[in-house]
Amino acid sequence: MHGNVIIVPMVHQQRSAARLSPSSDTEDIVTALAPRLSYFAGVARTEHVTRAAQEMQVPQSTLSRAMVRLEQDLGVELFARRGRSVSLTPAGRKFLVSVERALGEIERAADEVRADADPATGKVAFGFLHTMGAETVPGLLHAFRADHPRVRFTLVQNYGEAMIEGLRSGELDLCLTSPVPDAPDLVARRLDEQKLRLVVPADHRLATRRRVRLAEAADETFVTLEPGYGLRRITDDLCEQAGFRPRIAFEGEEAETLRGLVAAGLGVALLPPPAVPRPGVAELTVTSPRAAREIGVAWLDGHPDTPPVAAFKKFLLARKGNLLSG
């Protein structure tokens, strides 16, 4: 998986921006959002106020007042009037080009947000930790899509603090992270726990052991994730509980990169279990202190869910205690 993955591209329904009779729900939205502009485009297309009013199903007086008010607001005459018939002035023709472009953008935006909220085919913006990307998240998506095969996902793979900011900015609907965040503007639920292991080179003095106290690695050099990553914070806390401050040889962004560096003899690391066993390292159970990290799901408090987001959130919460095993 890559840092940002769009699973299914958006497909837009193409329609003419100038066809403004209310023959679809989207066009009704255009009229509601930008009434004067849509009225202007309708009159410009028909060049007749009465026919435009009939096609757009609005009172002729309303349409006439809207055009007068639009011209007053702009300080420009858009129409040359001959009774009920009108023709565009040069300024009106120039203005129409931009109006049709703007109405087309509104129409496309309405299509997008409606498509994203569709219960069957909508979109979920989901963030997750790098260490969840090899097996956990693909397994979750596979299981969810068994009952929701057409729901689309925008996936963001990042570290915990960045995902929290993604929730706050609206980039993400949900995120799977560790530690479970505690913030007044977020809702977070603990889903599972993952044991951490002390990973040492295969020829290390501790490599023949199955279990180890973390204090036994106090004199070792560590390779860790960069500050800001949840696993780095957990590593620092566990070492402090064991009575030492780790000496850091390298700070990275990927757990499997750290595992490779351990295999190369650059240090030891506290890491979650690998998706596939890696040669060149030994993975030891830490007996003291208790080495584990909580995995949770978080979302922005008070943020309304679209139907696909609500369905995926319900799916994740139902897997409490069984998130990592399948």
149: preceding bond cis by omega (within 30 degrees)? no
Q: Are residues 157 and 301 in the same domain?
A: yes
CATH code of residue 142: 3.40.190.10
Report whether 266 contacts 223 (CB < 8 A): yes
Our count of domains for the chain comes to 3
Q: What is the pLDDT of residue 56?
A: 87
Q: What is the pLDDT of residue 115?
A: 83
Specify if 283 maps to a domain.
yes
**Do the bridges between strand 79-82 and strand 4-6 make them parallel or antiparallel, or are there none, so unpaired?**
unpaired
> Given a cut of 80, is residue 7 above it in pLDDT?
no
Report whether 137 contacts 326 (CB < 8 A): no
Q: What percent of the chain has pLDDT over 90?
A: 58
Q: Which has the higher per-residue pLDDT, 283 or 17?
A: 283
Last residue of a domain, one of 117, 150, 172: 117
Q: Are residues 248 and 201 in the same domain?
A: yes
Q: List the structure tokens of 150.
A: 């057409």
Q: What is the pLDDT of residue 239?
A: 98
Confidence band, pLDDT 50/70/90 cuts, at residue 25: low
pLDDT digits (tens, 9 = 90+) for 66-84: 888 888 888 889 999 887 7
What is the number of alpha carbons within 13 Å of residue 214 lying toward its C-beta?
27
Specify if 16 maps to a domain.
no
Q: List alpha helices for the chain, DSSP H.
A: 25-33, 35-46, 49-56, 60-74, 90-117, 136-145, 160-169, 230-241, 255-263, 307-318
Q: List the structure tokens of 125.
A: 């913006």
Q: What is the pLDDT of residue 8?
A: 34
Mean pLDDT (whole number) for 219-240: 94
Last residue of a domain, one of 77, 93, 117: 117
List, in sequence order, every residue forming a beta bridge with 296; answer none if it has no partner.
Answer: 177, 190
pLDDT digits (tens, 9 = 90+) for 41-50: 989 988 888 8
Q: Are residues 38 and 113 in the same domain?
A: yes
Q: Are residues 301 and 167 in the same domain?
A: yes
> Given a cut of 50, is residue 2 above it in pLDDT?
no
Q: What is the pLDDT of residue 18?
A: 37
CATH code of residue 94: 1.10.10.10
Confidence band, pLDDT 50/70/90 cuts, at residue 9: very low
Last residue of a domain, one of 92, 117, 142: 117
Mean pLDDT (whole number) for 19-42: 61
Sign for the CA dihedral angle at 70, 71, 76, 80 comes to positive
pLDDT digits (tens, 9 = 90+) for 245-289: 999 999 998 899 999 999 999 999 999 998 888 899 999 999 999
> What are the angstrom distances between the C-alpha of 250 and each of 47, 224, 269, 291?
71, 6, 10, 21
DSSP-assigned states of every residue in 214-262: GGGGTTSEEEEEPTTSHHHHHHHHHHHHTT--PEEEEEES-HHHHHHHH
Mean pLDDT (whole number) for 216-238: 94
Q: Are residues 69 and 132 in the same domain?
A: no
Confidence band, pLDDT 50/70/90 cuts, at residue 116: confident
Q: Are residues 35 and 92 in the same domain?
A: yes
List, in sequence order, every residue forming a beta bridge with 305; answer none if it has no partner.
Answer: none
Q: Which amino acid is at 220?
A: E
What's the CA gap between 42 and 78, in Å, rounded?
13
**Do the bridges between strand 186-195 and strand 292-300 make them parallel or antiparallel, or are there none, so unpaired?**
antiparallel
Confidence band, pLDDT 50/70/90 cuts, at residue 208: very high
What's the CA gap between 310 and 305, in Å, rounded?
5
Structural domain span for residue 45: 25-117
Q: What is the pLDDT of residue 175?
A: 97
**Do the bridges between strand 221-225 and strand 247-252 make them parallel or antiparallel, or are there none, so unpaired?**
parallel
